[in-house]
Amino acid sequence: MIRFFEKDPYAPIQYTYEVSKILYHKRSEFQDIMVFENPHFGKILVLDGVVQITEKDELFYHEMLTHVVMCSHPEPKKVVVIGGGDGGTVREVLKHKSVEKVYFIEIDEDVIKVSQKYFPRVACGITDKRVQIKCMDGAEFVKRRSADIDLVIVDSTDIIGFAKSLFTKKFFHSVKNCLTRDGMYVSLSESLHFHKDIVIGVQETLRSVFPIVDLYTAPIATYAGNWWTFSIGSKQLDPREIRTKHKIRCRYYSDEIHSNAFLPRSMYQRLMTRKLDW
């Protein structure tokens, strides 16, 4: 049996997957890209040795990254997706009828091409006429943008690695400047089990820029530590409140999941004052 040993130096448990068949394996200008087939998860996309999505469970990550801010915004029209070359986040954004324009900013064109070939049900939204693809650095895109964006969604690789420029105070300032009055930002922020200090770090940096900052989680078995966090920076809207007028069709996300996903206020308080003793 061929096995794939995930190469995540920051995870205290190493995850290993059975490989039925390697479908693609090449280095792009930016990273090592691999696609393989697994008996349980179906096709799996790996970047620089770390699992990004699997056919079976990508829905949990994509729905939870996207719909919490999308549904707490009353009417998102212009949305920026940074990263997420597989297209899963774009697919979810397009479920919202209010959306008129999606700026899809992925630095690595090869990831988009590979996903369109091997993950058609994930990449399906990329060719939608509301989507404008730009293969460039997301930090550069937001820096030059005027304040007309409703939501910025960062769907990057792990924070430790070449995505780290997307988690600086400077970047968060650029994001804030390109947002409308009701604007919000969301990104992954690693595992509460394995990377508590990183979670706190992202939250602290966001709090130095945005007046409202919050944290929610989702269970994702294929990301190390699994108790995956998402960090929100908001200019004035409380992201715990649902404001959308449109019904969207999801496989995991719902109004109740939205509310339950946020950290209880007391636990959030203990996290940020470093009083959680685990």
Give the residue numbers annotated as catalytic, written as ranges: 155
Strand order in 21-27's β-sheet? 21-27, 32-38, 42-47, 50-54
Spatial distance between the Cα atoms of 190 and 194, rounded to a whole number of angstroms: 8
To the nearest 10 degrees (0 to 180), the angle between helices 265-272 and 196-207 is 90
Query: Which 147-206 residues touch its own copies, going by CB under 8 A?
Result: 191-194
Q: Does 13 bind its own copies (CB under 8 A)?
A: yes
Which of residues 124 and 276 has its CB atom nearest to its own copies in the complex? 276
Q: Does 52 bind its own copies (CB under 8 A)?
A: no
Q: Which of 162, 182, 254, 272 binds its own copies (CB under 8 A)?
A: 254
Q: Does 24 bind its own copies (CB under 8 A)?
A: no
Q: Does 16 bind its own copies (CB under 8 A)?
A: yes
All residues at 6 or more sequence positions from 156 whose CB lies less than 8 Å from its CB, including other chains: 82, 83, 84, 138, 163, 166, 187, 188
Q: How far is the CB of 60 from its own copies (least distance, A)?
A: 8
Query: Which residue carries 């959030």 as its tokens?
Result: 268
Spatial distance between the Cα atoms of 216 and 221, rounded to a whole number of angstroms: 16
Query: Which residue carries 């091409």 as its tokens?
Result: 113
Q: Which of 12, 29, 144, 181 binds its own copies (CB under 8 A)?
A: 12
**Sole window of 126-134, 200-208, 236-244, 256-264 interacting with its own copies (rule: CB under 8 A):** 256-264
Query: Which 57-76 residues touch its own copies, going by CB under 8 A?
Result: 57, 59-60
**Sole window of 26-34, 91-99, 201-209, 214-222 interacting with its own copies (rule: CB under 8 A):** 214-222
Q: Does 146 bind its own copies (CB under 8 A)?
A: no
- Mark 163-191 as b/e (b = at least 16 C-beta within 10 Å): beebbeeebbebbbebbbebbbbbbbbbb
Could you report how far apart the first and last alpha carbons of the chain are, in Å? 37
Q: How far is the CB of 32 from its own copies (least distance, A)?
A: 20
Which of residues 29 and 256 has its CB atom nearest to its own copies in the complex? 256
Q: How far is the CB of 130 from its own copies (least distance, A)?
A: 26
